[in-house]
Amino acid sequence: MKLVFATNNLNKIKEIQALIPSKIELLTLSDIGCTEDIPETSPTIEGNAIQKVQYVKQHYGYDCFADDTGLEVDILGGRPGVYSARYAGAAKDPETNMNKLLKELTGKNDRNAHFKTVIALEINGKLETFTGICRGNIAHQKKGEGGFGYDPIFTPHTYDKTFAELPLSEKNKISHRGKAMQRLINYFNH
């Protein structure tokens, strides 16, 4: 079965390829000739994931899945949330985003946060969504070289290391994307 994963994020592709069953041939946006930026104008994480799969289906005709992820910090009322990638501006620079978030949390004791991923799947004319949440805390400083995005400042509950310090295999077992992906895989196996 051929299925498009609607992302240009090479880190996400790498994570998903390690999880997806071998019976599914994963195609990327570049594999189908999609070079434009797919609109992400929904005010919700779920809405953006759905918007991406519907765009690919409408413009390219492929069954597709897409994810959208946000980091939601309790004391900030859920920010950066749906704006996580562009929190510090349109450049979508992870370092600038992390620096802005760390500055906003200076002197704050409540550093509870969670990552939320929603995967939308459009297949055989049906739309499904799968959600994964990983709870944790925002570290006081960046630690680790792995991962991407906010990984160097996010410490999952029951761990003393950030996502950026964990091996990918360990991160995939507990992460928001890993949990949402497992729900997607379970859907395919039923």
Q: What is the DSSP letter of 37?
A: P
Full DSSP string of 148-190: -TTGGGEEETT-SS-GGGS-HHHHHHHSHHHHHHHHHHHHHT-
**Cis omega (within 30 of 0) on the bond before 167?**
no
Distance CA 11, CA 97 (A): 17
Contact between 69 and 177 (Cβ < 8 Å): yes
Among residues 31, 37, 63, 68, the one annotated as catalytic is 68
Torsion of CA 84, 89, 91, 97, to 10 degrees: -50
Distance CA 57, CA 106 (A): 44
Instruction: Please enumerate, as own/partner, the contacts of 8-11 that have beta carbons within 8 Å and a separation of 24 or more.
Output: 9/148, 11/147, 11/148, 11/149
68 is catalytic: yes
Q: Could you give the residue numbers annotated as active site?
A: 68
